[in-house]
Amino acid sequence: MARSKTSAAWLHEHVNDHWVHQAQKDGYRSRAAYKLLEINEKDKLLRQGMTVADLGSAPGSWSQVAARIVGDHGRIFALDILEMAAIPGVDFIQGDFREDEVLARFEALLDGRPLDLVISDIAPNITGMSATDQARSAYLCELALEFARQHLKPGGHFLVKVFQGSEFNAYLAEMRSSFTQVVSRKPKASRDRSTEIYLLGKGLR
């Protein structure tokens, strides 16, 4: 079956992508590692000994970055609906974040530990229908924010991928009500044509 022009263009872009090649060279599982590395360089989110939750973690590049920086005295707790190969220093649960039973298992894994940082690169399976995709993405972002509010220690930080659409301003306002400062970041490793942006909530109120 012939590939569509769109998928052929994506494949060409992917094969010729600087960040994809860099990830292969540096041993990261995806180009997304460089998004977190760049944000961390600017905002100093990760430090040795931290306890971190990684939502939407597969294939695991954010967990790789976080585990390397927090070191042996830190802990990373990761969750994704997709499988994720084991990473030293990372406790992983596979399941759908939207399901209460999965969330309960993840919270049991945390065992009451307050988190220093919640990172969320979570995104829905894309249907190609922008209204549907926007709504699904916004719902996941809401759940991630609610999780951060419940499990971050006071003063903790929350980094989340959002897409700029009709729900963006309302979500931004919600984040501002929960954190002392909210900033946006568009890392170089984000594709130019993508509407994704990262919001960073600093200092849980």
Structure tokens at 37: 């590395």
Per-state percent for the chain, helix, strand, coil, to nearest 5: 40, 25, 35
Burial of 43 (C-beta count, 10 Å sphere; 0-12/13-18/19+): middle
Residue 54, annotated as binding a ligand: no
Residue 43, annotated as binding a ligand: no
Q: Which residue has the higher pLDDT, 195 or 26?
A: 26
Catalytic residue among 161, 186, 188, 202: 161
53, 110 Cβ separation under 8 angstroms: yes
- For the question of residue 161 being annotated catalytic, the response is yes
Q: Which residue has the higher pLDDT, 186 or 132?
A: 186
49 SS3 class? coil
Residue spans of beta strands (DSSP E) within the chain: 51-55, 75-80, 90-94, 115-120, 152-163, 179-185, 196-204
Reported CATH class of domain 5-204: alpha beta
Residue 19, annotated as binding a ligand: no
Residues 3-60: tens digit of each pLDDT: 566 676 656 555 568 899 899 999 999 999 999 999 999 999 999 999 999 999 999 9
pLDDT beyond 80 at 180: yes
Cα-to-chain-centroid distance, residue 183: 16
53, 151 Cβ separation under 8 angstroms: yes
Residues 107-164: tens digit of each pLDDT: 999 999 999 999 999 988 888 888 888 899 999 999 999 999 999 999 999 999 999 8
Residue 91, annotated as binding a ligand: no
Residue whose token pair is 């709504």: 135
Residues 66-86: tens digit of each pLDDT: 999 999 999 999 999 999 999
Residue 100, annotated as binding a ligand: no
What are the start-end ranges of the H helices in 44-99?
A: 61-70
203, 155 Cβ separation under 8 angstroms: yes
**Quick one: pLDDT at residue 171?**
97
Strand partners, 68: none
pLDDT beyond 50 at 105: yes
